[in-house]
Chain A
Amino acid sequence: MSSLVAGSGSTVPLLAVDDLHVEFATRDGLVRAVNGVSFELRAGETIAILGESGSGKSVTAQAIMGILPTPPARITAGSIRLEGRELVGLRERDYRGVRGRQIAMIFQDALSSLNPVTCVGEQIAEMFRIHDGAGHGAAKAAAIEVMERVRIPGAARRYGDYPHQFSGGMRQRIMIAMMIALKPQVLIADEPTTALDVTVQSQIMDLLAELKTEHNMGLILITHDLGVVADVAQHITVMYAGRTMEQGPVDDIYSRPANPYTRGLLESIPNLEAKTGRLPAIQGLPPNLLRIPPGCPYNPRCPLAQEICTHEPAPALLQVEGSHHSACHFAQEVRSYGIHRAVQG
């Protein structure tokens, strides 16, 4: 265990995930949920992991948090380093010092993540009592302070209210309050706004961005929604069937995707600006993770698939330009097409 590199200089990333592999042993066989995912996160940076259900995005997040159910899950290869310190293989006792204090995570469904029979103020105060050893009075004061920080109106008055007495947006704020209570360095938000209405979504995204800047946190957004992260994340990683399909700066990927899957996703999003009639949908279904097709996992659905895509092993992530990488045999060609979001009526 290498002791931390002093003074978090910009050379060592805050969080570095390298070639992560996670498998689940199921009755029907081995599920390779995450298959060689790598990315880096720096302080003050926001990255997004994009993917549909079954892409492995949430499993990646759980692996970082050290909350994978083991068994059946197992990290079979790769490393997760927080400021240079290896987290894979860390004993549960030591992980407890990391979770909450250094890495925290908010979930999609705040109602099922909060304890329904304890008032919300208590749940937040508990963080301070357990992790900081604060006394009751101090913990309560600190809890009210973070509740104010996430702009819960009448925080002191609502300290004793229960989760069901709050709206969806307010509950998500309470989750955020709990998670930022100990000022973690990394905040993982797994579909933080998916269950919320759009007008509330933007409030929550704004709040997250603000807190990130204020605490100089690294923020990882896990989502299926290409719209939500467009202006928030600097870098994105697109996952499919446990693999990284494409990775790079958000502007570059959205305007010139270098992977047919990313392009398919971008093109299949309905356009608010214009009625385009039929949508250019991606054909077929995501693969069953027990039977990932040989070659590139996307090949059965890919409109550009050639023989090489089924016969060769899955393509590695190769540089397209700068930090933009794509795992496609035809990355440069795909990139040169650009995307065609239909705009004509």
Chain B
Amino acid sequence: MASTEPSRAESSGSILRVRDLVKNYPIMRGVVFKKQVGTVSAVDGVSFDLAPGQTLALVGESGCGKSTVGRLLVGLERPTSGSVVVDGVDLATLSPKQLLEKRRDIQIILQDPYTSLDPRMTVSSIIGEPFEIHPKSLPQGRTKRQAVAELMDRVGLNPEFLSRYPHQFSGGQRQRIGIARALALRPKIIVADEPVSALDVSIQAQVMNLLMDLRDDFGLSYVFISHDVSVVRQIADEIAVMYLGRVAELGSADQLIARPNHPYTQALLSAVPLPDPIVQRTRERITLGGDLPSPADPPAGCRFHTRCFKAQAICAAEQPVLRPVDGAHVAACHFPEPMYDLAGGGSAR
């Protein structure tokens, strides 16, 4: 791999621009005469920018819309409205043929290495499939087999296992297969949807390290989707915290974790279990009441107000917009206020 050039800096700052992304799913009733009886608002106005070589994390709990955003980015779903601009090109303006071409730039790694690989395909055909669709992407002077072997070697799989099937690999190895497949077309952006959540702790760290190495070697940009803030902390430059389809807070990873301003971010951070019994017993914790409301019937105003410990009358009436709290750090709250030391009581120096 001769020339890996992480600097593509001239291209106006961002490799991925997302603006006002909205995804609604209809709720249908009836067997023969289907009728729409409601709408699930899965993603409701999400915007962010991703700079080349950077990692943006989408963090949130189940049902917050983070995976839907990921699927919208790679074109597995079509947005209801809003735009996804990859390397200066708005995907919505492309013809199907152009879109297919453009999708080489943005690939996805899925959470579950058990269901995201076809059990009847060999590893070589799984990793090599992108080359079937985009024959031009095959590196110069290499056969498909050679290219696949190189990819396997790069992600830490023994290339001798080319003709094995997914069930002959462990969870961590399967996730490496998924990573090799995503790398095949030399994308600029990889969307990683909970890539380590299904793995054991000791394997998680290996896969995280691999993802960090690949980012540095290939100058990749990541959209890293996860519910686990501690994992995200290790890889993200920026973090967007999502709640019920909206971005609650967005900022640099350091700032957002050291000084969260949105009550939801604060509760989320304070609930992360820390592997230190002494810190864990003494740290301040915010326990949220109740459950996540249904996205089919989201609360009016601020979607978090039904569980918020700071909620006032205005929160139920008016939707807060993302406003700067500190430079590029923004929060969608009527009463933003930083809280400190939620990540462990500042026991570290």
Contacts and interface: CB of A to CB of B under 8 A. Distances in A.
Given A228-B273, A250-B277, A265 B201 contact: yes
B329 to A, nearest CB: 16
A226 B275 contact: yes
A224 interface: yes
A332 interface: no
B202 A227 contact: no
B277 A198 contact: no
B268 interface: yes
A224 B201 contact: yes
A283 to B, nearest CB: 8
Nearest to B172: A285
Interface in A27-43: none
B273 A227 contact: yes
A308 B257 CA distance: 45
Contacts of B278: 251, 255
Interface residues of A, number: 48
B317 to A, nearest CB: 24
B61 A198 contact: yes
B348 to A, nearest CB: 4
B276 A230 contact: yes
B280 A199 contact: no
A117 interface: no
Interface string B74-86: 0000000000000
Given A254-B275, A278-B209, A268 B202 contact: yes
Interface string A276-317: 111111110110000000000000000000000000000000
Contacts, number: 137
Nearest to B253: A275
A109 interface: no
Interface residues of B, number: 50
Interface string B217-248: 00000000001111101100000000000000
Contact of A254 (B173, B254, B276, B348): B276
B272 A279 contact: no
B182 to A, nearest CB: 21
A272 B204 contact: no
A199 B209 contact: no
Contacts of A286: 200, 202
A255 B172 CA distance: 28
Nearest to B170: A285
A281 B172 CA distance: 13
Interface of B: 61-62, 170, 172-173, 200-206, 208-209, 212, 227-231, 233-234, 253-254, 257, 267-269, 271-278, 280-281, 285, 287-288, 290-292, 343-344, 346-349
In the A-B complex, the 9 residue pairs with the closest CB atoms: A227-B273, A281-B205, A197-B61, A231-B280, A279-B205, A282-B202, A268-B205, A52-B200, A343-B348
22 contacts: A52-B202, A53-B200, A153-B290, A167-B291, A197-B61, A197-B227, A202-B285, A202-B287, A225-B201, A225-B273, A226-B275, A228-B273, A230-B275, A230-B277, A251-B277, A251-B278, A269-B230, A270-B205, A271-B230, A272-B257, A272-B274, A274-B348
Given A273-B348, A274-B233, A286-B202, 15 more contacts: A52-B201, A52-B202, A167-B291, A198-B272, A200-B61, A230-B276, A230-B277, A231-B277, A268-B202, A271-B234, A272-B229, A275-B233, A275-B254, A276-B234, A280-B205
